[in-house]
Amino acid sequence: MAICTYKAIDLFRWLTKKEDIVILDVRNPKDFSRFHIESPYPFELHNVSYYDFMEAEEESVARVPSGRSVRIICAKEGSAKYVAEILDKHGFTD
């Protein structure tokens, strides 16, 4: 997986162009329940907490769809980078 950073405007563009991406939100369930990414079109969204990846890496990776581009979001960039490194280690590609 090519690990790269992006800005909110990039995510907005991908969603409004209906690109075939999976959004992986790694915030904890409480924060996830307070706010979700929105789009004018349907998109695939998964919430697997950063802590889940820390505690049960294999099971957490198995919950992420493979074979498609994954965009990871979090409250702060560090958690997303951590999860991106794990997915990269498990053979996810961009």
Q: What b-and-e string marks burial along 29-58, b requiring 16 or more CB atoms within 10 Å of the CB?
A: eeebeeeeeeeeeebeeebbbbebbeeeee
Instruction: Reply yes or no on whether 74 is catalytic.
Output: yes
Backbone angles phi and psi of 6, in degrees to 5: -150, 165
- The C-alpha atoms of residue 53 and residue 12 are separated, in whole angstroms, by 26
Given the residues 74, 83, 84, 87, select the one marked as catalytic: 74
Just list the catalytic residues: 74
